Amino acid sequence: MQPAPKVFGIILAGGEGKRLMPLTADRAKPAVPFGGQYRLIDFAISNLINSGLQQIVVLTQYKSHSLDRHISQTWRMSALLDSYVASVPAQQRLGKRWFTGSADAILQSLNLINDEKPDIVIVVGADHVYRMDFQQMLAAHIESGARATVAGIRQPIGLANQFGVIDVDKADPTRIKQFLEKPENPEGLVDSPHEVLASMGNYIFDTDALIEAVEADGELPTSNHDMGGDIMPYFVERGEAGVYDMKRNDVPGSTDRDRYYWRDVGTIDSFYDAHRDLISTLPIFNLYNMLWPIHSQAVNSPPAKFVRDDVHRIGNAIDSIVSLGSVLSGAHLELSVVGPWTLAAGGSTITQSVLFDSVRVGAGARIHRAILDKNVVLADGATVGVDRTRDLERGFTITESGITVVGKGIHVER
């Protein structure tokens, strides 16, 4: 019997996250809070840990302090088992320069691979919300004989122009014919003409092949040094690129409703929509699957509390998530997600919104279709997302779909 291959995990967490501003004004994109008590990075790390990986590095770059702190406080593995999740900043080992792309990040971090000498390297992004068993993808990669395999998620063909699309070989649907960047009129899949395979940004490589590819890419002055745009086409040209259809992945505890859930939360609108996916009675993405838990930092806080205020208004929450330490005192919460240690006073209403931790909502304040970063304070009677003209005057970001975003620590007056 062949011994199990040694597998090393790399999480690419160096993205700047400009499209999530102002949520990324003071933190790296993977450190952005999500779903009340999580950070975006928790989904990538949890999937790798639940898949049995024991040695994982997180490559960081921009505004990484809160991300580094979260990883160090949350992901403490056993040194006795030679297990770790380690945050690794840009080291400038190849000169006085930052990472110029995801492939360059790996090129500049090859010392990490050379130290561990794995047989296979799994490379994943840090800003997607999903569950995935990478052991199943690994088995498919080994069986296929491909040197590089990318995970693909089925998407409606009408949305193809929003993704990098994988054009599969019709004679062998496990092999990649070419990559199509946001195509307008792609062909559908043979077994499902109304769907295409979009790249999930998750890859598995034979180690020697990955090293050879990023070193060759590093010598090309015209390359963007991107995993999806440059490294995978390199393997396609050599006939060594495989694709793993996420439809083959069966995560323990998943349901028919959320089994193939995947969201790229790279924009304010997609970030907001992903939160809406959490709060229905039968959620599109189920946080309560304890057979494949999403791990995060344990918050040492009391339970959430709903109390009457002085005039006997009852604090309540409908179709919402309320995190530990939060108190709704005569406030009304509906279709919303509230982070830890948020306080909402009597007569306030919070509807269709996302609040990060330690937000203060004054008496009679109103919040509607908004995202409030941590430590935002609303004075009594103040509003966000109610008066568009007033919000613009105050410098708040408003998306085309009408989502209002208030940055960290801002005091909103009446």
- Residues of the binding site: 164, 181-182, 199
Binding site for alpha-D-glucose 1-phosphate, residues? 164, 181-182, 199
Please answer whether residues 35 and 55 qualify as being in contact, where contact means their C-beta atoms are separated by less than 8 angstroms. Answer: no
Distance (Å, whole) CA 326 – CA 52 = 34
Q: Which residue has the tokens 């092999």?
A: 175
Q: To 5 degrees, how large is the angle CA 29–CA 195–CA 285?
A: 45
From the list 312, 104, 359, 124, the residue with the least C-alpha distance to 213 is 104
Give the separation between CA 333 and CA 353, rounded to whole angstroms: 9
Q: Which residue type sits at 70?
A: H
Q: For the beta carbon of residue 412, count every other beta carbon within 10 angstroms.
A: 22
How do beta strands 33-34 and 38-39 pair?
antiparallel
Helix (H), strand (E) at residue 360: strand 360-361
Nearest Cα neighbor of 337 from 314, 307, 367, 312 is 367
Question: In whole angstroms, what is the distance from residue 260 CA to residue 247 CA?
Answer: 7
Q: Provide the phi-psi class of 338: left if phi over 0, else alpha when psi is between -120 and 50, else beta.
A: beta
Q: How far apart are CA 190 and CA 168, in angstroms?
A: 9
Buried b (16+ CB within 10 A) or exposed e, 91-128: eeeeeeeebebbbbbbbbbbebbeeeebebbbbbbbbb
Contact present, 30 and 41 (Cβ < 8 Å): yes
Residue 261: C-alpha distances to residues 158, 170, 201 (Å): 18, 25, 14
| Residues contacting residue 391 through CB under 8 Å, at least 6 positions apart | 384, 385, 398, 404
DSSP 72-132: HHH----GGGT-EEEEEE---TTSS----SHHHHHHTTHHHHHHH--SEEEEEESSEEE--
Cβ distance 35 to 263 under 8 Å? no
